[in-house]
Amino acid sequence: MYIIKIKGKVKIPDYVQIRDDKFALLAYFRADRPENALMKCGLGKSEVEIKKVIAELPYGKILKLEIK
């Protein structure tokens, strides 16, 4: 899986995309509210780990997400 953080502008908040290995979109959610989206795509157990990655991830950088 891959994760990308997108910078928002003025009234548009920052967003995060989670994509699979074929780069198909699995989840698209606000960076400050990932809980519901992670539950819907089956990553609810890794919520704490993903929140840490989101906080440290620079905008526009694609990162390979290794979930344990």
pLDDT of residue 66: 85
- Is the pTM value of this prediction over 0.75? yes
Three-class secondary structure of residue 60 per DSSP: coil
Q: How confident is the model at residue 68 (pLDDT cuts 50, 70, 90)?
A: low
Three-class secondary structure of residue 36 per DSSP: helix
pLDDT in tens, 7-59: 999 888 999 999 999 999 999 999 988 999 999 988 888 889 999 999 999 99
Instruction: Tally the domains of the chain.
Output: 1
Q: Which residues, 6 or more positions from 3, have their beta carbon under 8 angstroms from its beta carbon? A: 16, 17, 18, 19, 50, 53, 54, 57, 62, 63, 65
The tokens describing 24, both together, are 């198909």
Report the C-alpha dihedral over residues 9, 14, 20, 26, rounded to 10 degrees.
Answer: -100
Full domain range(s) for residue 25:
2-64
pLDDT of residue 59: 95
